[in-house]
Structure formats: C-alpha cells, structure tokens
Amino acid sequence: MPPDPDPDRRDFIQGVAAGGLGVALLSTAGPGVAAADPPTGPGRAIPVQLTVNGQDHALTLDPRISLLDALREVLHLTGTKKGCDHGQCGACTVLVDGRRVNACLTLAASVAGSPVRTVEGLATGDDLHPLQAAFIKHDAFQCGYCTPGQLCSAVGLLKEAHATTDDEVREQMSGNLCRCGAYPNVVAAVQEVRLAARDAR
Amino acid sequence: MNPFDYARAAGAAAAVTQVAASPRAKFLAGGTTLIDLMKLHVETPDTLVDIGRLPLDKVEAVAGGGLAVGANVRNSDLAYHDAVLARFPVLSEALLSGASPQLRNAATVGGNLLQRTRCPYFRDGVSPCNKRAPGSGCAALGGHNRGNAVLGGSESCIATSASDMCVAMAVLNVTIKTQGPKGERAIPFADFYLVPGETPERETVLDHGELIVGVEWPALPAGAKSHYLKVRDRASYQFALASAAVVLEVAGGVVTTARVALGGVATKPWRVPDAEKLLVGRKPTAEAFAAAAEVATKGAVPRTFNGFKVALVRRVIVRALETVAAG
C-alpha cells in the first residue's frame, strides 16, 4: 500500500495499534468487531445488514455493538462522534429513517433494514449541504467535535418543521451540547437555511 | 455491557413467549432507558427481544372522543399528533418538556410508561440501592437526595418517578392494555404503579413477559382545559424538580371537574384525589388553588436536601391551575 500522503491522527493511531501494543488492547477491549463467540450462552454474533449513506454493508456483529460503534469502529465512518455515550450530549446524532436519533443508545442490530444517514452523507460530492455551508459562514463551531451531531440534528429539525423562532430553534437543538459555546452561531446558521428554504417554496 | 442474545420479535405473542421463557429476558423498544442502563451495568438482560418494529404504532380515535395509542408510537409523533395537540394539550406539553428531540424520536409510549428513575444511587451501580439490589439499603436517604421524592417514599426507597408523559397520562385516566403469558389485560393507570414500600424493585403490576401493547383514554369533559407545567434546573432538556398536570372544567362560575397529578416529587405518577375533591364545587380562585395545593402535599416527607420541593410543587400546582382557569 502506498503511504498516505496526508496521514491523519486516526490513521497514525490505527497504524500503531496494528503494529504493536494496541493489538493486545483491541483483542480484549469490550465489544469489538465480530467478538469471539462463546460456544454456549448469550452473546453470539449475528448477521446485521446496515444501509449507511446509500451503501449496503453485510456485517456480523456482537449484539452489544451500538450503531455509533458500528459506524466508527466497523465501517470507519468516524465523522459521527462519541461524546457521553449515554444520550446526553448529542455528538453521535445521526438520521435513521430520516429521523434524528442518538446512535449511542441505538443497537446496530435494531436499525438493520432502515436507512442511516451520517454527516458523511450530507454533502453531494464536493457540494456542501446548505447547513454545512451555513455553519462555515456563521462560524458555528470552534473545536468541531459536536459539529457532525449538530449538523445531523439540524437536518432533522428542518425536516420536522416545528421550529420557527430563535427560541424554538434553541429548544429543538437542546439535545446537542457544545462545550465551546457556539450556540448563537448555530442558531444563526439553522435560521438562515430554514428561511432560505421557506423563501424558495 | 454483559453479553446478550438479540432477536427481533415476529409478533406480540411470539415476543411474550420469548421473554417469558427466560427470567433475564427483556423487551427492547426505543432503548433510550434500557441501553443506557445496560451500559451502566444496572440492567443485565441475557436476551433482548426487539419489539420496535411491531405494528403497535397507530393513534386511533375511539368512540366518544378518546384516543387509542399503540405502545410503539414514538414520543415525538404523539406529542405533535393533531388530536393530542387539539384536545389533550397536557399530554403534548408533557412529552415535549421531556428529554431531547433525538430521544423523543426514539422513545416509545410503552417504554416511557416503564422509564426508570434517575436516582444517582440507582444508576451508579455500586451504592446501596434496594431498587437495584434488594436488601442492600438506600444511599439516598442519608445522601445527596435533592432530586428524590417527598411523596410516596419509604425507608427502603425515595427514588423519583422520572417520566413527564406519565404525569399527563395520570390525569387522562388512561387504561394500559397488555398481552402476557396469562392473556390480555386492561389495567387502569391508577392501579398500574406500585409505591416502593419494602419492595422498591417491583415498580408496576406487570408480570414478567407481559407486554404493553397500547394505551387508551376517554375524552375530557366538554369545556375542560388541560395543562402541564414543569419546573427544573434549566430551561430545557432536564428532569423535573416539580411538575403538575391539571385538568379543570369550570361551569357556572364553579369548578365542575378537577384532576391534578404531580411529577418530580413522588415515587410514581402522583394523583392527588383529596385536592381534587376540595376544588370541585368551589370558585376557581387563588385561595381555592392554594388550599388544594396544601392538601396535595399533605404527608410529604422532606429529606436532607429536598425540602424545597414541598413549597415548590405547591406553587407549581397553583400556577398550573391559574393558567387553565385563565383559559
């Protein structure tokens, strides 16, 4: 394999893990990919057909694997972020059947057969989703860790169409925490896209 | 999370058989409580029977103006349903005051009826907790109990019922429909939940393997108004410190129907029949509402850090009643 011209931190960590110390950690750490099947007792890996951003994946998964872990650790779609892992921060927000949910509290097995859309599936080629463009324009993030969840949540918000005022947008985005405090700019970005879509109709 | 087998239910009857077959099997619906508690090792099922795709997802009118709602109807879908918005605003308001949009998109009616407490000693997996580990004691009694219950508790448990939806359902006179190993049942909401007593691990009258398939409730009296008021530490995405669901009908200048239920302060969704009786036949005045609120909190047992809830919930009751009386 030719060297990656632009290796990122994750590639580096995975490379180190594959090459040494990490192997032992990965093989014993919690729910992994196709975890060793106990010959008897509960927990046998099961076939799970996931459809993510229009692509089908036939997987064999430990039933414990959340949708979030399946996306990140199995499909290597690391745009979706793990924050609290308990449904409190919203960093893992994705769209299942077009509805925003917390991927950390969703078992991968339970969404088999339902289309999943992640932040990687928002843009069309090089054309950013209007919300992505608006987030850049309004500086709606600093560190960016919560941003994929914010974006997917905002896509859900616009589809649900229950928010009109700034207060309503704030309330409807309350499931997405931002430690950097970019909230006012998130509201501005969401409102700009909402109003543009309304005017276009 | 401990290992478990996962199976999608082929139907309600099959799901009941599957769960009934194993003492540690559980139904999985939206998963927002169960998966969370499994990650905390508070719940350790060996089998999950996924009922999330069963077609228990209808909201239907029943004769006389009531509604029948399938157990798998998502919280957000119920909250924004036209009939709920128009005729049962207390339920819509309660649902929308709970959790976040993401959680409401996943959480179901059946699951919300069985939502577990947020008591930190229940959730931490290690503290003495009679609900999680019967006989181990209650760390909340002498611990950080600011969020705990002042009504319906015992020396075994003062864990607060966490659901907002259930407080609204308490004043809608809901009937809970189940299908279980012994057949079908229709359980009045008032009979469904148990106070902790000496067995806080047992929260409802459901048998193991008994599946909630739906809920049903009648129309409110013509002219009755309803409302849910929730007070919490921040403006959104937080559990109640105190809440009240109210139904009030005023005719000829006097109260003809009054229903009041409390959340955030009790070990189960908490109807206050004595306060309701006091209101009927009286003028809907601030004095009458205050008197009812006083009666509603009779017998409250404040603990080290939650004494404020007694005064707070009285004010919540009064304001909720004033809001509906003002129309």
Query: How large is the average pLDDT for residues B125-145?
Result: 98
Q: Does A103 touch chain B (CB under 8 A)?
A: no
Are the CB atoms for B108 and B30 separated by under 8 Å?
yes
A9 CB contacts (<8 Å, ≥6 apart)?
none
Identify whether residues A97 and A145 lie together within a single domain: no
With cut-offs at 50, 70 and 90, classify the pLDDT of residue A20: very low
Tokens of B184: 């079908």
Residue B136 is predicted with a pLDDT of 98
Q: What is the pLDDT of residues A35-92, one digit of tens each?
A: 444 445 689 999 999 999 999 999 999 999 999 999 999 999 999 999 999 999 999 9
Are the CB atoms for B204 and B189 separated by under 8 Å?
no
Instruction: Report the complex ipTM.
Output: 0.96
Q: Which residues pair with B228 in a beta bridge?
A: B245
| CATH code for the domain in which residue A156 is found | 1.10.150.120
Q: Which of A57, A87, A121 is the last residue before a domain boundary?
A: A121
Residue A29 is predicted with a pLDDT of 37
CA distance A66 to B34: 13
Q: Of B97, B112, B59, which Cα lies nearest the Cα of B238? A: B97
Length of chain B: 327
Identify whether residues A95 and A112 lie together within a single domain: yes
Are the CB atoms for A104 and A92 separated by under 8 Å?
yes
Q: Which of A88, A121, A154 is the last residue before a domain boundary?
A: A121
Q: Check B39 against A86: CB less than 8 A apart.
A: yes
CA distance B215 to B69: 5
Name every chain B residue with its beta carbon within 8 A of the beta carbon of A176.
Answer: 100
Q: Check B35 against A175: CB less than 8 A apart.
A: no
CA distance B164 to B104: 12
B133 CB contacts (<8 Å, ≥6 apart)?
none
Q: Among A105, A153, A160, select the one facing B106 at the smallest CB separation.
A: A105
Type of residue found at B1: M
Q: Which of A101, A121, A141 is the last residue before a domain boundary?
A: A121
Q: What is the pLDDT of residues A108-146, one digit of tens each?
A: 999 999 999 999 999 999 999 999 999 999 999 999 999
Query: Domain containing A55: what range?
Result: 44-121
Mutate to test the interface with B, among A82, A107, A155 (most CBs of B within 10 A): A107
Tokens of A17: 């893990």
Residue A34 lies in a domain: no
d(CA B28, nearest CA chain A) in Å: 9
Identify whether residues A76 and A139 lie together within a single domain: no
CATH topology of domain B225-326: Enolase-like; domain 1 (3.30.390)
Are the CB atoms for A104 and B102 separated by under 8 Å?
no
Identify whether residues A172 and A105 lie together within a single domain: no
Q: What is the pLDDT of residues A97-109, one digit of tens each?
A: 999 999 999 999 9
The values of phi and psi at residue A117, to 5°, are: -125, 130
Q: What is the pLDDT of residues B254-271, one digit of tens each?
A: 999 999 999 999 999 999
CA distance B7 to B3: 13
Annotated domain spans of chain B:
5-52, 225-326
Q: What is the pLDDT of residues B285-294, one digit of tens each?
A: 999 999 999 9
Number of domains in chain A: 2
d(CA A163, nearest CA chain B) in Å: 11
Pick the CATH number of B5-52 from 3.90.180.10, 3.40.50.80, 3.50.50.60, 3.30.43.10: 3.30.43.10
Identify whether residues A64 and A98 lie together within a single domain: yes
| CATH code for the domain in which residue A101 is found | 3.10.20.30
